[in-house]
Amino acid sequence: MSRKLSATATDFIDDAHLTALLERPRPDSRRVRDLVAKSLDKQALAVEETADLLLADDPELVEEIFAAARTLKETVYGNRIVLFAPLYIGSECINDCAYCGFRRSNPDAVRRTLDLDEIRRQVTALEEKGQKRLILVFGEHPKYNAEFIAESVRTVYGVKVGHGEIRRVNINAAPLDKAGYEIVKEAGIGTYQVFQETYHHPTYAQVHPRLTAKGDYLWRLDALSRAMEAGLDDVGIGALFGLYDWRFEVLGLVRHALFLQELYGVGPHTISFPRLRPASGVQLDEKWQVADRDFLRLIAILRLSVPYTGMILTAREDAALRRQALSFGVSQIDAGTRIELGGYTEAGDTQCMEREQFTIGDVRSLDEVMRELVVDGHVPSFCTACYRLGRTGEHFMEFAIPGFIKRFCTPNALTTLLEYLVDYGSEETRAAGERIIAEELAKLPEDALKRELVSRLDRIRTTEDRDLYF
Ligand code: SAM
Ligand code: SF4
């Protein structure tokens, strides 16, 4: 792999500027309300404006920010939640990231790379539970090059068990060069995620030793620009919260999103905000640990600042916090998650730290999560229609095109939910799921689209027809 940067490579993170923005006086309540109104009017916020929301820590204003994030979520996106599962392919790693169980200096880590048959067995187990969307996760290692990633993706798509199939494969792996992104795009990937981990240069240098592959800040910051140059415009950004001041990282994420938007005309498809978890042999300063309330604040502020982007909340967080965070604009969660290599067939009920990158907080089964979602009034969705029909940037379309959600997202959420209930759901989950389907149908106008949807739902209940997307 060459280390050639993109044509536009530039270090667009100015630490001093972002820090200075956070050292200004608190904004008054009028300013905060104006910003909230701007976001509710579906306009993205500038970095300076985001900083003002971050500075607003008066409890009353924080509540207003929470309420606004809830309103934005409800009025723009509705009650759908997309579900996926991670599949760890390999834990070999040449890097030495201070926070990660896979880092090369950790002698206790069990190193393993799934071969193609092992991948097929994991995917079979995932399909038998009802999963339709996966993210493949890799350490950074010469073995895990673009061809290897592409081969893993093709292998996953090739596994079909009964009504089971994986309809979208996303990737979280080390940055590639432009040619590498072309190869993985060709294999039919969905989103390619690269998290900057921390946007703060000194902290980045502290946790990523300089002589490791990941030690090069700009190579990583430029990663998704190279993807864009390769024609892979479905990319995900993220920061690992707990390494540095969470407010600085939010500004970094917003700056990154705006940079991609301005340069390539398309912002990130998703933003991830993993919070640091205990990991094998990892002892990190707790100074920057993010408290639950601040974590919820950062989710709400990201929702308001980058209102057109999907937001991912993983099983690193426990069930109670995930439940709370859903109302602030999270659009995707994983469920039924195991992150040990081979964990979907081999692991027992307890987590084994040496076999995984970090420990997770929500180990419930997919069915349990599905049940809680529908009982709480969410509509779990396994929809993959836009990506398969070439409607890329679907989250942006949901946001920007009036009527898009009603016409595509809701019908596809309901058909994919019903597929799950009929093919994999427990009795209790099916009953609760059918109730929410009926409630959602009742909200739709009596038109041709609804008649077609009702007819497709009946086909799913009474025939073997599946994958009936709009
Ligand atoms: N190895 C590739 C890389 O570093 O880009 C792929 C990603 S890594 C397997 C997935 C992500 O897990 C990292 O980007 C990091 O944000 C997150 N992660 C690492 N250690 C973690 C920990 N202790 N707690 C929570 N998340 C962690
Ligand atoms: Fe390797 Fe990624 Fe873990 Fe760093 S975060 S040690 S690159 S797996």
Asked whether residue 306 carries a pLDDT value surpassing 90, the answer given is yes
Note the pLDDT of residue 77: 86
CA nearest neighbour of 80 among 457, 436, 345: 436
Distance of CA 196 from the midpoint of ligand 1 (Å): 10
In whole angstroms, give the CA distance from residue 96 to residue 250.
24
Asked whether residue 396 carries a pLDDT value surpassing 80, the answer given is no
Asked whether residue 144 carries a pLDDT value surpassing 90, the answer given is yes
By percentage, how much of the chain surpasses pLDDT 70? 99
Distance of CA 278 from the midpoint of ligand 1 (Å): 12
Note the pLDDT of residue 317: 97
CA nearest neighbour of 383 among 418, 409, 361, 349: 409
Listed in sequence order, the DSSP H helices in 56-177 are 59-72, 116-129, 146-158
* 139 C-beta closer than 6 A to ligand 2: yes
In whole angstroms, give the CA distance from residue 388 to residue 274.
28
Note the pLDDT of residue 25: 97
CA nearest neighbour of 334 among 190, 136, 65: 136
Average pLDDT over residues 84-107: 96
Note the pLDDT of residue 75: 87
In whole angstroms, give the CA distance from residue 196 to residue 23.
23
Domains annotated on the chain, with CATH? 72-390 (3.20.20.70), 400-462 (no CATH)
Average pLDDT over residues 401-416: 89
Asked whether residue 394 carries a pLDDT value surpassing 80, the answer given is no
Average pLDDT over residues 378-398: 86
In whole angstroms, give the CA distance from residue 91 to residue 141.
9
CA nearest neighbour of 326 among 135, 83, 28, 140: 83
Asked whether residue 395 carries a pLDDT value surpassing 90, the answer given is no
**Closest ligand, as measured to the CA of 198:** 1
* Cβ proximity of 271 and 310 under 8 Å: yes
By percentage, how much of the chain surpasses pLDDT 90? 89
CA nearest neighbour of 316 among 372, 367, 365, 358: 358
Average pLDDT over residues 20-35: 97
106, amino acid identity: N
The band of 399, judged by pLDDT with boundaries at 50, 70 and 90, is confident
Q: Which two tokens stand for residue 254?
A: 């917003």
The band of 405, judged by pLDDT with boundaries at 50, 70 and 90, is confident
For 270-294, the pLDDT digits (tens) are 999 999 999 998 988 899 999 999 9
Average pLDDT over residues 320-339: 95
* 103 C-beta closer than 6 A to ligand 1: no
Most ligand 1 atoms within 8 A of CB, residue of 172, 353, 362 to mutate: 172
Average pLDDT over residues 121-145: 98
Note the pLDDT of residue 356: 87
How confident is the prediction for the chain on average, in pLDDT?
A: 95
Q: Report the atom number in ligand 1 closest to the C-alpha of 240.
A: 16
The band of 355, judged by pLDDT with boundaries at 50, 70 and 90, is confident
The band of 50, judged by pLDDT with boundaries at 50, 70 and 90, is very high
For the chain, how many residues are written?
470
Average pLDDT over residues 367-389: 95
Can you tell me whether residue 320 is helix, strand or coil?
Answer: helix
Note the pLDDT of residue 398: 82
Asked whether residue 57 carries a pLDDT value surpassing 80, the answer given is yes
Average pLDDT over residues 379-386: 94
CA nearest neighbour of 245 among 15, 14, 4, 2: 15
| Residue nearest ligand 2's atom 2 by CA | 139
Most ligand 2 atoms within 8 A of CB, residue of 99, 103, 272 to mutate: 103
The band of 421, judged by pLDDT with boundaries at 50, 70 and 90, is very high
For 181-218, the pLDDT digits (tens) are 999 999 999 999 999 999 999 999 999 999 999 999 99
Note the pLDDT of residue 195: 98
Note the pLDDT of residue 401: 80
